[in-house]
Chain A
């Protein structure tokens, strides 16, 4: 399934927090289409998603914002 998440109105750290929480709620193989701003979110959201083991399918400019398509590849570690 495909999900959308708009974090263009969010600021640090909620841009990353919302992406991480949403990724934890969807299933492996699902795609999350994140709409975000240039700068810090565009640099760090894809990087942290990849570090967590997910895959970036596409990054596309949309007006003054960007779409980052993330495919969920792994489940987050269980509560410690």
Chain B
């Protein structure tokens, strides 16, 4: 039997907790039912992929280091609404666990296990003074628009802003 492969490419522009949950739910769900999945992280979305999950002065240049500290990593993602000074993502994670819904960290781990292709935006990394070494090892490539278009060709594209 020929196995049909479908393709989903997600552009994760947002670094909000809830939108990252949406991106990784779609990514891991699609990969689980046999779709090829690319997730392209740009701007705020790069915070989800930082190796240092907390607030660190990383990056090249004073302003970049300050920005990276203020934005933090995957442990500092704010809720897009009702963030309440950063308390809400923890409360939301607690509710997710209580209701047996996968947490963001579990979804990210699942996406990695299912070979979701995590890719980072070269231009946004350049602005933030980040190098590939600042991102988790599962980031396969750092690419620009033409390569992303090539990877997403003949598939569906979703932009998460």
> A interface vs B, CB < 8 Å?
9-14, 16-17, 19-21, 44, 48, 51-53, 74, 77, 79-80
Stretch in B11-19, B106-114, B127-135 touching the partner? B106-114
Are A20 and B32 in contact (CB-based, < 8 A)? yes
Residue of B nearest to A10 (CB): B100
User: B82 contacts the other chain (Cβ, under 8 Å)?
Assistant: no
Residue in B1, B31, B106 whose beta carbon sits within 8 Å of that of A53 in the complex: B1
List 6 A-B residue pairs with CB atoms under 8 Å apart, sorted by A's residue number.
A17-B113, A21-B110, A21-B113, A48-B34, A77-B5, A80-B115
Q: For the complex, give the distance between the alpha carbons of A79 and B102 in Å.
A: 23
Report the minimum CB–CB distance from A21 to chain B (whole Å): 6
Q: For the complex, give the distance between the alpha carbons of A79 and B117 in Å.
A: 9
Report the minimum CB–CB distance from B37 to chain A (whole Å): 10
Which one of A14, A21, A79 has the greatest number of beta carbons of chain B within 10 Å?
A: A14
Are B4 and A51 in contact (CB-based, < 8 A)? yes
Contacts of A51 in B (CB 8 A): 3-4, 33-34
Given A51-B4, A52-B3 in contact, is the A16-B100 Cβ separation under 8 Å?
A: no
Are B29 and A16 in contact (CB-based, < 8 A)? yes
Residue in A9, A13, A21 whose beta carbon sits within 8 Å of that of B29 in the complex: A13
Report the minimum CB–CB distance from A2 to chain B (whole Å): 22
Are A44 and B36 in contact (CB-based, < 8 A)? no
